[in-house]
Amino acid sequence: MTVKMENRSIEEKILLGVTAAAIFILSPFLIKSILEYNKLRILVDLVAVGGISIIFIGVWFTSKVKLFSGLFAIIAHVNILFGIYIVGSDLIFWLFPIIIASFYLLPTVIACVLNGLLISIAGVLTYQHFEHFSLPLIMASFVVTGIFSLIFSIFMQRKNRQLLEKDKINQLRNNILELIASSSKLSKVLSAVVEGIENELPGTMCSISLVDDTGSQLRLAAGPSLPEFYKEAVDVIPIAKGVGSCGEAASLGKRVLVTDIATHPNRAPWAKLAHKAQLVSCWSEPIISHHGTTIGTIAIYFKTLATPTENEFDLVEQFVNLTRIAIERDKADTIIWHQANFDNLTQLPNRHLLHEHLSIAIDNAERDKKQLVIAMLDLDNFKDVNDSLGHAAGDRVLIECASRIKNSIRKNDIVARLGGDEFIIAFVGTTSAEDIDKIGQKLLTTLAQPYVIEHKNFYCTASIGLACYPNDGLTIDALMTNADQAMYLAKTRGRNSIHYFTENMSTDFLKRMELIDDLRTAVEQKQFHLVYQPIVDLHTHRIAKAEALIRWQHPQKGLISPMEFIPIAEEIGLIVEISEWIFTQVSQQVHEWRQRHCADLSISINTSPVQYRNEGKLVKAWADSLLAQGIPYEAISIEITEHLLMDNQVEVVEALETLRQQGITISIDDFGTGYCSFSYLKNFAFDYLKIDQSFVQNMSIDNNDAALCEAIIMMAGKLNMQVIAEGIETEEQKQLLIDAGCTLGQGYLLAKPLSVMDFEQLLIKQNQSGSTT
């Protein structure tokens, strides 16, 4: 293969140049001799031109300078003698410089000049006898030229050796750089550095130590030539002044020379072992990072009393630089790998590393014919932490969760954070259902413990879904999807619980996903409308108020109950958008009806806990909106459920208080279904208390329910609240409620939820007749 001209050595270039020039100069002689048909001269010139051409081609294609320059010299010498004897002396003018040129490079030029001078003098002196150029003169000239060329040759060989030496170090450096660039293991690069130094400084032994994670000590990382007992002794060296040569070099960030290990105080603890290992002198170079901190040391041991030379210092400095690059590259690689595989916040493996671990775990389970249980864990009310306490607090909860999960599972188990508040656990070492249940319960209990944030206790439970390899899925994706579905079921069934995946869950899950998709479209395309259910005076049957209720007319599936879609809308956050739409519709509608039919009409809107996040800003904004539209605050009433108050959140109570002070009335819906119905009544005054329909409907068949209703009505009266009885379906229920002192009621007996038009007709009818529903 031919080599590009720019890649050739200087020697090669000169030899190629000289031979090319010689061919160029000698060729006219050859042509001339051919034209004159002087057979002997043709022969001599042919040998010269042909020989030189062969040298040129040989060097060009093989780059073997030494071989061809030697060959060149022989051809030239033979040709001179041959030429002089056959043709006469004139060839010598041309052939001698070529011989000189054949002996290496630059000085050749000087040799040529000197030789040319010599030949010229000889020519002038022997001019008269030119035809009979004497043999002694030829020989003398030949010897002188030979001496010149010999001197130059020796000189050039020395230069060449230095070049080769440099070349060798360059080669070594390139090899190490190649190892670094190809992300070879750090240990391999360090061994190559040690080997390189030991080769360049024959008779020495070398080792490399790196500063460990504590930053206070050095750990031996490479030292293949050192005896095992010595390596053990210097495996860990504290970084401090006066501790060995490496400890001190690392501490000071400067080179440390110990000419005699046996007597140097720094080396006292290792002196005996050094003696046993035949180490006499030692020199340590610190490896300083580009930030200026010491990251390691290189130690060079001599077997005799030695003081390193400047050249040796320079040489080792080159290796120190290479080692620094290798260590920094390794550190950067480690950081990049960590970032790609671990969650930055919790330091748990991320989805990527989880996949790697899970595929190994699945392979093992398959090989051992065992089960592998995967748990999808999601925090139940994590969004509330973020919304109410901010993201920094949320982060702290996640970190704490990760640590509680890690402490609850076995060492072999795999735990990863998928993002947000979602974690995955693979129970590698546990397969029995009983054990999984135990660990699952342990996880629920530990995660439900309070999280102390800003000196306050915050509670956050978790829902866990379990899927099992191979029964519930053979691939990672299938297992994770199924565990996810099981987790959703755990959430919908009251949260803070564990649920196993079952076959029919899959169809439920798909239905749910479809509903979520449809719901988003419904919001975009405004597929909702409102109906209004009258709340009437039980004595007069006059409409006192009304409740706005949402309806979703699905283009294909028909009417979908709010009981089906409101919980999902709450879960995915769409309820906020939906509620804003309801408020706009209701406020405009009530304004219109108040102006046209019923001046004191008030319509209540159901609100959901999601709207009270962020200190209830969303609901509070409704008051501003009413003011801006010139609608009296009393036109709107807000219904909340007991669950909203159960967490005793100060922000919620404050938001409701603000609204109430502005004149918006507040109703407590589904009263009696919560667990602490009475405790919050003393902290907050409501305007209306709506007895849940389950009590009302059981009044006639269960005396306890009737007694409860009576008690609620009495208590509300004492607390200055009005009572609305929900779900009145029969005359008997109505009568019992009237007897118990209830004045307002809502239910199918009185009026079903009505369309805008029907409700308006009812208002008109009521105005005309002063009559009832």
Ligand X SMILES: Nc1nc2c(ncn2[C@@H]2O[C@H](COP(=O)(O)O[C@H]3[C@@H](O)[C@H](n4cnc5c(=O)[nH]c(N)nc54)O[C@@H]3COP(=O)(O)O)[C@@H](O)[C@H]2O)c(=O)[nH]1
CB of 737 to ligand X, least distance (A): 12
Residues 6+ apart with CB under 8 A from 295: 210, 211, 287, 288, 289, 324, 327, 328
CB of 567 to ligand X, least distance (A): 9
Output 186 or 566, the one with its CB closest to ligand X: 566
Output 36 or 564, the one with its CB closest to ligand X: 564
Torsion of CA 45, 47, 50, 54, to 10 degrees: -150
3 state SS of 46:
helix
CB of 751 to ligand X, least distance (A): 9
Output 245 or 746, the one with its CB closest to ligand X: 746
Q: What is the DSSP string of 362-392?
A: HHHHHHHT--EEEEEEEESSHHHHHHHH-HH
Tokens 């009979």 correspond to what residue? 132
Output 418 or 656, the one with its CB closest to ligand X: 656
CB of 613 to ligand X, least distance (A): 15
Output 593 or 671, the one with its CB closest to ligand X: 671
> Measuring CA to CA, which residue among 307, 311, 210, 297 is closest to residue 254?
297
Tokens of 82: 């041959």
CB of 626 to ligand X, least distance (A): 18
Cα-based distances in Å from 386 to 28, 351, 391, 421, 749: 95, 23, 5, 11, 45
3 state SS of 15:
helix
Sort 459 into a burial class: Cβ within 10 Å, 0-12 / 13-18 / 19+: middle
3 state SS of 419:
strand
Output 430 or 533, the one with its CB closest to ligand X: 533
Output 500 or 671, the one with its CB closest to ligand X: 671
CB of 409 to ligand X, least distance (A): 39
CB of 704 to ligand X, least distance (A): 20
**Sites of contact with ligand X (CB under 6 A):** 533, 547, 549-550, 561-563, 566, 582, 606, 608, 669-670, 693, 726-729, 746-748, 753
b/e per residue 355-381 (b: at least 16 CB within 10 A): eebbeebbeebeeeeebbbbbbbbbbb
Question: Which secondary structure element, helix H or strand E, spans residue 423, and what is its range?
Answer: strand 422-427
Output 180 or 582, the one with its CB closest to ligand X: 582
CB of 732 to ligand X, least distance (A): 13
CB of 291 to ligand X, least distance (A): 58
**Cα of 386 vs its chain's centroid, Å:** 23
User: Helices 310-341 and 351-368 sit at what angle, rounded to 10 degrees?
Assistant: 80
CB atoms within 10 A of CB 476: 19
CB of 511 to ligand X, least distance (A): 19
Task: Count how many residues are written for the chain.
Answer: 773
Cα-based distances in Å from 318 to 171, 244, 268, 315: 13, 23, 30, 5
- Judge whether 208 and 224 are in contact, CB under 8 Å: no
Q: Could you give the count of Cα atoms lying within 13 Å of 466 in the half-sphere of its Cβ?
A: 19
CB atoms within 10 A of CB 649: 18
Tokens of 185: 């293991």
3 state SS of 288:
strand
CB of 674 to ligand X, least distance (A): 13
CB of 695 to ligand X, least distance (A): 12
Tokens of 510: 């798909």
Output 496 or 579, the one with its CB closest to ligand X: 579
CB of 672 to ligand X, least distance (A): 12
Is the alpha carbon torsion for 695, 700, 705, 708 positive or negative? positive
Residue 223: φ, ψ to 5°:
180, 55
